[in-house]
């Protein structure tokens, strides 16, 4: 019984993180149509930021978290304006955009990763924040995981409310579903894309700070987070927020189960197994409608 | 995609022959090492372009196949004669390519890219897991009686085979089918081309050559572990080289691989700590400024010059 509660708690908290990170990517890919392969690098960059602030200047990670939102927003807005909008213009946002943006961000991945290796080296880092155990139904879980879970739920809810209840959110949904028709009703597609892309960046930066509170991380781990976020958004159906949340929780649960009961070295294999079964069974994702 | 002309074919065969003679004329080990490095990248970039050029499906997993080739040699290299070892390597690489292709090539290109993006990491984790838990070792030593000269000639022979094969594919029905797929997949489907099968065949061929490159190179490493042989930087370099040269033509990747492997050799020796940053920056410059490759840029320039003269 205790084991079940523990597995549930660990799976839910890890899944919450994945869901939040994937929500950011589904905004970037589903709305701005950018396949952003350097996405996970920003997560690791934010994690290193929180690590440096905590170990060198004793800054509470929750403060870093609050700062990470505007910084992540600004950095990704710049990335979109400087690096990606020339590609959007060149390809007229056509099908070539996907390949071009993918290649450009693949290059960016190595640049960002290289900078982090130069600054922090290639080894694993972690720090101790709110790591004391809390007893829930007989299972012990670190407090930082609970804080993280609460915050990811908050982030998910606010994104959902923004998209479904506000005028700006409706514009974002319009660009996601019909980028060709959105200008007809006075929506500036380029501007909405840039801002949505930046919001995705803010989410991943916040995810990085949260991840750094309870995970060990290294400069080369960004690729794995990008991979997981991609798998989650494909499982949930590209552009589908609810899908990203459900698929993220599912992935967190599956990983926790395998890491606990089988072997922690096989978590990526689980990712791939889930990815494969979704591709073979429902290529449009769990909640996606098949195209064509 | 353009068919190579007779003149450029002759030129390439001549270059290959001259390259094969080099170790006979000079016994300088540094140049031989450089030659091996150059030919392995020329080989991989060309093999990559065999699939990704006409279909425009970007594969980011070259090193997964390269590493599998190296591991095949490390595991069975001592027990079996070298040709058999190479066959086993090719079989293993082709099998993986077949599985990946069957799962992803039916779907849109994005799924394929994403799948290959993490494939090397997955294979690396699985190998590490296997080595740590089953064989209880981290690395393996490869002691084979293979001279660098022999490796160099094996690479050149494989390259000649690859050129001949892809030249033949381009002339065949398969090559024609691939050009149509690259232009418009929907049209290809409607005129009765089995799109998935054509892509699958090419992906397996391309991966088999990359696997074999890894197998041939394995004795040069002497020591391998999963982190060395599945290093993502290798995939990255292959993509960059093929793109710079132009993945659309048979010899484009050669034009990209030669200058870039020299440049990377220089950069990695000179700035070992900043290598990845420079690599990424070089990649972005290519994507932004020569999106169709040097070969296409040159021929466009040539045509414009011809028009201006006339």
Task: With CB atoms and an 8 Å threshold, state whether A98 touches B109.
Answer: yes
Report yes or no: B100 and B115 within 8 Å, Cβ to Cβ. yes
Q: Pick B38 or B78 by higher pLDDT.
A: B38
Does any CB of chain B come closer than 8 Å to the CB of residue A8?
no
Of the ranges A69-73, A242-246, B82-86, the best mean pLDDT one: A69-73
Distance, CA of A10 to CA of A8 (rounded, Å): 6
Task: With CB atoms and an 8 Å threshold, state whether B276 touches A104.
Answer: no
Q: Provide mean pLDDT across the span B225-232.
A: 84
Distance, CA of A71 to CA of A284 (rounded, Å): 33
Which tokens in the block code for residue A154?
A: 């908050």
Task: Enter the ipTM.
Answer: 0.78
Contacts of B165 (CB under 8 A, 6+ apart): B205
Distance, CA of A8 to CA of B154 (rounded, Å): 55
Q: What is the dihedral of CA A221, A222, A224, A230, to 10 degrees?
A: 170
Q: Provide mean pLDDT across the span B99-123.
A: 83
Q: Provide mean pLDDT across the span A128-156.
A: 82
Residue A291 pLDDT class (50, 70, 90 cuts)? very low
Q: Provide mean pLDDT across the span B224-241.
A: 86
Closest CA to A18 of A233, A237, A262, A268: A233
- Shortest distance, CA A269 to any CA of chain B (angstroms): 6
Report yes or no: A236 and A21 within 8 Å, Cβ to Cβ. no
Reported as a single tens digit per residue, the pLDDT across A88-108 is 888 877 777 877 888 889 889
Is the predicted pLDDT of residue B158 greater than 70, yes or no?
yes
* Domain definitions of chain B by residue range: 6-231
- Shortest distance, CA B56 to any CA of chain A (angstroms): 9
Residue B6 pLDDT class (50, 70, 90 cuts)? low
Find the largest Cα–Cα distance for chain B: 71
Report yes or no: B185 and B58 within 8 Å, Cβ to Cβ. no
The CB-based long-range contact list for A118-124 (8 Å cut-off, 24+ gap) reads A118/B273, A118/B274, A118/B277, A119/A48, A120/A48, A120/A219, A121/A219, A122/A218, A122/A219, A122/A220, A123/A218, A124/A216, A124/A217, A124/A218
Q: Between A and B, how many CB-CB pairs are < 8 A?
A: 115
User: Which domains, and CATH codes, for chain A?
Assistant: 2-281 (1.10.3470)
Contacts of B121 (CB under 8 A, 6+ apart): A223, A224, A227, A268, B230, B232
Residue B4 pLDDT class (50, 70, 90 cuts)? low
Average pLDDT of chain B to the nearest whole number = 84
Termini Cα distance of chain B:
26
Q: Provide mean pLDDT across the span A263-278.
A: 81
Q: Which of A90, A110, A269 comes nearest B122 by C-beta?
A: A269
Residue B21 pLDDT class (50, 70, 90 cuts)? confident
Q: Which residue out of A30, A85, A114, A292 would a mutagenesis test of the B interface target, given it has the greatest number of B Cβ atoms within 10 Å? A: A114
Distance, CA of B140 to CA of B163 (rounded, Å): 33
Q: Provide mean pLDDT across the span A5-28.
A: 89
Which tokens in the block code for residue B212?
A: 């074999």
Distance, CA of B160 to CA of A49 (rounded, Å): 51
Chain B residue numbers with beta carbons less than 8 Å from the beta carbon of A269 are 122, 125-126, 129
Reported as a single tens digit per residue, the pLDDT across B262-271 is 888 888 888 8
Residue B15 DSSP SS3:
helix
User: Which H or E element spans position B70?
Assistant: helix B62-76
* pLDDT at residue B206 in the model: 94
- Shortest distance, CA B53 to any CA of chain A (angstroms): 13
Q: Is the dihedral of CA B204, B206, B212, B215 positive or negative?
A: negative
Distance, CA of B62 to CA of B49 (rounded, Å): 11
Distance, CA of B22 to CA of B20 (rounded, Å): 6
Closest CA to B287 of A103, A49, A159: A103
Distance, CA of A230 to CA of A271 (rounded, Å): 10
Distance, CA of B44 to CA of B67 (rounded, Å): 13
Task: With CB atoms and an 8 Å threshold, state whether B114 touches A109.
Answer: no
* pLDDT at residue A115 in the model: 93
Q: Pick B182 or A124 by higher pLDDT.
A: A124
Closest CA to A255 of A232, A282, A279: A232
* pLDDT at residue A292 in the model: 36
Distance, CA of B79 to CA of B77 (rounded, Å): 6
């Amino acid at each position: 019984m205790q084991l079940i509660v523990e597995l549930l708690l660990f799976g839910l908290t890890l899944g919450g993180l994945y869901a939040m990170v994937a929500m950011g990517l589904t905004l970037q890919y589903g709305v701005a149509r950018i396949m952003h392969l350097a996405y996970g690098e920003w997560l690791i960059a934010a994690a290193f930021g929180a690590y440096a602030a905590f170990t060198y200047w004793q800054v509470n990670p929750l403060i870093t978290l609050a700062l990470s939102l505007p910084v992540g927003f600004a950095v990704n807005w710049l990335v979109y304006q400087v690096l990606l909008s020339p590609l959007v213009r060149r390809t007229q946002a056509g099908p070539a955009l996907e390949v071009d943006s993918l290649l450009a961000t693949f290059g960016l991945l190595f640049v960002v990763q290289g900078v982090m290796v130069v600054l922090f080296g290639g080894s694993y880092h972690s720090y101790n924040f709110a790591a004391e155990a809390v007893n829930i139904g007989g299972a012990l879980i670190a407090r930082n995981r609970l804080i993280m879970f609460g915050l990811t739920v908050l982030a998910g809810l606010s994104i959902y409310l923004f998209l479904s209840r506000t005028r700006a959110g409706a514009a974002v949904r319009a660009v996601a579903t019909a980028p060709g028709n959105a200008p007809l009703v006075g929506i500036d597609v380029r501007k909405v894309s840039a801002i949505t892309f930046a919001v995705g960046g803010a989410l991943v930066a916040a995810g990085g700070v949260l991840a750094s509170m309870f995970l060990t991380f290294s400069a080369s781990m960004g690729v794995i987070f990008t991979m997981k976020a991609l798998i989650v958004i494909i499982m949930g159906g590209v552009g589908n927020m609810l899908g990203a949340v459900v698929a993220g929780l599912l992935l967190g649960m599956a990983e926790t189960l395998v890491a606990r009961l089988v072997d922690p070295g096989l978590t990526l294999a689980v990712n791939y197994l889930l990815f494969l079964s979704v591709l073979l069974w429902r290529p449009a994702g769990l909640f996606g409608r098949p195209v064509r | 995609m353009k068919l190579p002309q007779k003149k450029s074919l002759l030129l390439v065969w001549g270059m290959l022959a001259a390259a094969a003679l080099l170790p006979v004329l000079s016994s300088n080990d540094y140049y031989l090492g450089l030659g091996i490095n150059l030919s392995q990248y020329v080989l991989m970039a060309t093999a990559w372009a065999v699939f990704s050029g006409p279909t425009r499906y970007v594969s980011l997993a070259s090193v997964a196949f390269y590493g599998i080739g190296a591991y095949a040699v490390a595991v069975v290299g001592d027990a079996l004669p070298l040709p058999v070892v190479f066959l086993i390597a090719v079989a293993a690489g082709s099998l993986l390519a077949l599985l990946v292709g069957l799962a992803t090539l039916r779907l849109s290109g994005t799924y394929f890219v994403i799948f290959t993006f993490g494939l090397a990491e997955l294979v690396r984790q699985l190998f590490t897991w296997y080595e740590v838990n089953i064989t209880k070792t981290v690395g393996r030593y490869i002691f084979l009686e293979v001279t660098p000269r022999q490796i160099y000639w094996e690479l050149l022979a494989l390259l000649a085979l690859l050129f001949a094969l892809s030249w033949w594919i381009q002339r065949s029905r398969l090559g024609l089918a691939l050009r149509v797929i690259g232009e418009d997949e929907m049209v290809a489907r409607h005129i009765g081309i089995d799109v998935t099968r054509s892509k699958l065949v090419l992906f397996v061929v391309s991966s088999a050559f990359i696997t074999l490159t890894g197998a041939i190179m394995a004795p040069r490493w002497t020591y391998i572990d999963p982190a060395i042989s599945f290093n993502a930087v290798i995939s990255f370099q292959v993509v960059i080289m093929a793109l710079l040269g132009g993945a659309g033509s048979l010899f484009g990747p050669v034009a990209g691989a030669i200058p870039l492997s020299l440049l990377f050799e220089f950069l990695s020796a000179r700035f070992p700590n900043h290598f990845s940053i420079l690599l990424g920056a070089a990649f972005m410059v290519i994507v932004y400024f020569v999106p169709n490759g040097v070969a296409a840029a040159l021929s466009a320039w040539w045509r414009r010059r011809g028009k201006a003269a006339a």
